């Protein structure tokens, strides 16, 4: 992906040199034309076209903001309810993600989502130990994490 972006920037500079104009607007138009060229030549690259990854990152950010707002609503509800009826607990979550940066992003996002806080990651990086504010929601939380975050992160890394 990084290689394709670098190539696209190089094509934009080539466009600027060919036009003999050196403004930001020419760089942008050259970048757009280079993107079209790279999209048409996408079968020659070992990875997929990088636009898909950019779109996946954008989607990840949208999911993240939505979950952050929901998290705050749930904390607000717990804190301001007259009686504390929570059942906290720690549950184990087996993740399919492999590389370090994927697990880092997943645990960061889990920490900022409704009622969950990552306590530890096992040494072989396959199990996340998550403290839940309400353990009865844990099954639902596991399902949500799997469906929304893990899938979104896997889409970014293109698997």
Partner 1 sequence: MIVIAKAIVIFLILLGAILCLISAIGVLRLPDVYTRMHAASKASTLGVVLILVGVFFHEWFLAGIISAKILLGIVFIFLTAPVGAHLIGRAAYNTGVKLDKRSVQDDYGGFRNFVIKRKEDSYL
Binding site for partner 1 (CB under 8 A): 68-69, 71-72, 75-76, 78-80, 84, 86-92, 107-109, 111-112, 115, 117-120, 122-123, 127, 129, 131, 133, 135, 138
Q: How many whole angstroms separate alpha carbon 49 and alpha carbon 133?
A: 41
Residues ≥6 apart with Cβ < 8 Å to 123? none
Q: Which two tokens stand for residue 11?
A: 């094509």
Task: CB nearer to partner 1: give 42 or 131.
Answer: 131
What is the smallest separation between the CB atom of 107 and partner 1, expressed in angstroms?
7
**Which residue, 52, 79, 83, is CA-closest to 158?**
52
129 within 8 A of 118, measured Cβ to Cβ: yes
Task: CB nearer to partner 1: give 20 or 124.
Answer: 124
Q: How many whole angstroms separate alpha carbon 118 and alpha carbon 91?
A: 10
What is the smallest separation between the CB atom of 112 and partner 1, expressed in angstroms?
5
Task: CB nearer to partner 1: give 48 or 87.
Answer: 87
Taking every pair of C-alpha atoms in the chain, what is the biggest distance, in angstroms?
A: 71
What is the smallest separation between the CB atom of 149 and partner 1, expressed in angstroms?
13
Q: How many whole angstroms separate alpha carbon 156 and alpha carbon 60?
A: 8
What is the smallest separation between the CB atom of 131 and partner 1, expressed in angstroms?
5
What is the smallest separation between the CB atom of 50 and partner 1, expressed in angstroms?
22
Task: CB nearer to partner 1: give 35 or 141.
Answer: 141
Our measurement of the distance from residue 61's CA atom to the centroid of its chain's CA atoms, rounded to an integer in Å, reads 6
Task: CB nearer to partner 1: give 16 or 106.
Answer: 106
């Amino acid at each position: 992906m990084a290689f394709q972006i670098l190539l696209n920037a190089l094509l934009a500079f080539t466009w600027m040199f060919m036009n003999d104009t050196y403004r930001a607007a020419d760089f942008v138009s050259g970048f757009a034309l280079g993107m079209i060229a790279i999209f048409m030549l996408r079968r020659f690259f070992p990875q997929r076209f990088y636009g898909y990854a950019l779109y996946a990152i954008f989607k990840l950010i949208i999911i993240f903001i939505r979950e952050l707002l929901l998290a705050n609503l749930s904390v607000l509800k717990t804190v301001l309810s007259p009686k504390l009826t929570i059942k906290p607990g720690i549950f184990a979550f087996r993740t399919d993600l492999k590389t370090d940066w994927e697990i880092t992003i997943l645990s960061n996002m889990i920490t900022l989502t409704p009622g969950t806080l990552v306590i530890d990651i096992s040494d072989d990086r396959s199990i996340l130990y998550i403290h839940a504010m309400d353990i009865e929601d844990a099954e639902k939380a596991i399902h949500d994490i799997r469906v929304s975050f893990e899938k979104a992160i896997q889409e970014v890394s293109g698997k």
